[in-house]
């Protein structure tokens, strides 16, 4: 339960029963940010708060109802073409009205915006109702247009799950204290209910063979094509290596075709979506591997640490904040098949792996603990409550004005860069003639 913090001066604190309105926009599935939202909402409930969720995904609504958490589900639209969407202004204004109505109905102490998209309309709703808000980013918004049209520069407090999530805002000049980092958490109790799965036996793979596991959406940036080529090279050199893939996506058929072209279709096992991925990690697979080209937070890598499974992943931002090279796993230079092969073969000859696994297990239970994550999140909430002044309209208007000026400055800078590049490209060719 929440306990008031003693301070030298009165501080605003969250009390048991206080409502937190969480707004989420996403696809109709339960993956990264959705799974994190479920764990977060359940943790807030266990801390005595009252999470209420507004989302656009029926499957998320059903999962929340199973946990006893109230949820409102409705269609959502976004203006200015984010993710290729062209929402109507009428529907968008209706969303603002819905946000205002939910705030008036539940009277939340704070609105938690889970992802950048809902900030586009909830920033207006919270401003009208004079309600504090927090934005949590689970992705890297590297396109300036997206950061501006989603109103990220108007957010007074934006939490990133890693440096990769907030680095663009930091580069835009947003003060560091307004962009703290809070890693995602894993629910160890829930995951460890899954019994171990003997995947080698299920697939008929020899016990002496190396079975690698990769988990994630089958999309280009996850680097599965690299993994398939790496498996081919390892087998050509006489090492019996299999790869099992958990997940689905638009790259599934091209990857199947690639495995046939490389003559390794008998070594690649597409398992599709699995509800017992953690149980498979706890079974007889030899390592969890990733070939990702871009990642914001490798949640599945932390889960593999909890499962005491060796992790081999590329050394890129978003992954190296989860896995520490040769301490809790093995990081190789991205897209380097030789370095990847060396890491895979080390599973059989490197005696340091048991030490790494134990350190990784300890880190998964501490740094990525759901309880610790929730307590830190509540501290962030209380920081916002003590800096947000819903009675000082002058101060809040100035903050919004500064944010608007920053957005205009960034837009002018980008336009100037494009104009300079255009002018340079149109510069006349040199008329100098050699003698």
| CB-CB contact of 109 with 20 (8 Å) | yes
Tell me if residue 318 falls in helix, strand or coil: coil
Fold for the domain defined by 196-368? Rossmann fold (3.40.50)
pTM of the model: 0.84
The per-residue pLDDT for 408 is 62
Check residue 402 and give its pLDDT: 53
Reduce the secondary structure of 201-216 to three states and give it as a string: HHHCCCCCCEEEEEEC
Whole-number pLDDT of residue 145: 87
- pLDDT (average), residues 355-375: 96
- Whether residue 5 is predicted with pLDDT greater than 50 in this model: the reply is no
Task: Give the pLDDT confidence score for residue 38 in this predicted structure.
Answer: 95
The residues facing 136 across adjacent strands are: 114, 159
Instruction: Grade residue 388 by pLDDT with cuts at 50, 70 and 90.
Output: confident
> Within a 13 Å sphere around the CA of 277, how many CA atoms are in the beta-carbon half?
23
Binned at pLDDT 50, 70 and 90, residue 413 comes out as low
Lowest mean pLDDT among 83-97, 119-133, 216-230, 412-426: 412-426
Is the predicted pLDDT of residue 117 greater than 80, yes or no? yes
What pLDDT does residue 239 have? 97
Query: pLDDT for 308-330, tens place per residue?
Result: 999 999 999 999 999 999 999 99
Per-residue confidence at 107, pLDDT binned at 50, 70, 90? very high
Average pLDDT of the chain is: 88
Sign, Cα dihedral of 140, 142, 146, 152: positive
pLDDT at 366: 95
- The residue ranges of every structural domain in the chain are 19-185+371-388, 196-368
Residue 428 pLDDT: 35
Work out the average pLDDT over 16-39: 92
Do domains 19-185+371-388 and 196-368 share one topology? The answer is: yes
Sign of CA dihedral 298, 299, 300, 303: positive
**19-185+371-388 carries CATH number 3.40.50.2000:** yes
pLDDT score of 191 more than 70: yes
Q: Do the beta carbons of residue 163 and residue 319 sit within 8 Å?
A: no
- Position 336 scores a pLDDT of 97
Residue 410 banded pLDDT, cuts 50, 70, 90: low
Residue 82: pLDDT band with limits 50, 70, 90: low
Q: Which single residue is written with the structure tokens 């070594």?
A: 267
pLDDT at site 10: 61
Q: pLDDT tens for residues 121-150?
A: 999 999 999 999 999 999 999 888 899 899
Percentage of the chain lying above the pLDDT 70 cut: 86
Listed in sequence order, the residues at least 6 apart from 169 whose beta carbon sits closer than 8 Å to its beta carbon are: 141, 147, 152, 153, 158, 160, 179
174, 158 contact by CB (below 8 A)? yes
pLDDT surpasses 50 at 259: yes
Query: Residue range 22-42: average pLDDT?
Result: 91
Distance from chain centroid for Cα 116: 12
């Amino acid at each position: 339960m929440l306990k008031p913090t003693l301070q030298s001066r009165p501080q605003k604190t969250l009390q048991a029963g206080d409502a937190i309105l969480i707004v989420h926009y996403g696809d109709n599935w339960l993956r990264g940010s959705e799974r994190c939202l479920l764990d977060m909402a359940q943790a807030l409930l266990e801390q005595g708060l009252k999470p209420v969720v507004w989302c656009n995904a029926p499957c998320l609504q059903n999962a929340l109802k199973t946990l006893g958490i109230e949820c409102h589900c409705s269609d959502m639209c976004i203006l200015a073409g984010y993710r290729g969407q062209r929402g109507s202004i009428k529907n968008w204004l209706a969303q603002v009205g819905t946000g205002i109505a939910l705030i008036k109905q539940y009277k939340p102490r704070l609105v938690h915006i889970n992802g950048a998209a809902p900030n586009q309309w909830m920033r207006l709703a919270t401003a009208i109702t004079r309600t504090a808000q927090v934005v949590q980013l689970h992705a890297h918004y590297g396109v300036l247009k997206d950061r501006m049209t989603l109103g990220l520069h108007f957010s007074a407090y934006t939490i990133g799950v890693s440096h990769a999530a907030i680095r663009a805002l930091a580069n835009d000049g947003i003060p560091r204290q307004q962009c703290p980092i809070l890693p995602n958490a894993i629910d160890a109790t829930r995951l460890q209910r899954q019994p171990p799965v003997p995947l080698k036996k299920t697939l008929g793979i020899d016990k002496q063979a190396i079975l690698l596991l990769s988990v994630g959406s089958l999309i280009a940036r996850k680097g599965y094509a690299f993994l398939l080529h790496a498996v081919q090279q390892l087998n050509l050199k006489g090492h019996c290596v299999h790869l099992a893939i958990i997940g689905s996506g638009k790259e599934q058929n091209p990857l199947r075709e690639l495995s046939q072209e490389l003559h390794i279709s008998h070594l690649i096992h597409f398992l599709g979506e699995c509800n017992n991925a953690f149980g498979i990690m706890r079974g007889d697979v030899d390592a969890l591997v990733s070939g990702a080209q871009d990642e914001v937070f490798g949640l599945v890598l932390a889960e593999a640490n909890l499962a005491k499974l060796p992790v081999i992943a590329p050394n890129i931002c978003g992954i190296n904040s989860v896995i520490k090279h040769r301490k809790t796993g093995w990081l190789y230079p991205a897209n380097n098949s030789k370095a990847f092969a060396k890491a895979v073969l080390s599973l059989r000859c490197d005696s340091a792996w048991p030490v790494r696994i134990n350190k990784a297990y300890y880190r998964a239970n501490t740094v990525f603990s759901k309880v610790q994550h929730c307590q830190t999140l509540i501290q962030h909430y209380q920081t916002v409550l003590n800096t947000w002044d819903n009675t000082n309209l002058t101060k809040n208007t100035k903050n919004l004005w500064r944010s608007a000026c920053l957005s205009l400055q960034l837009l002018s800078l980008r336009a100037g860069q494009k104009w300079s590049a255009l002018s340079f490209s149109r510069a006349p060719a040199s008329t100098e003639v050699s003698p």
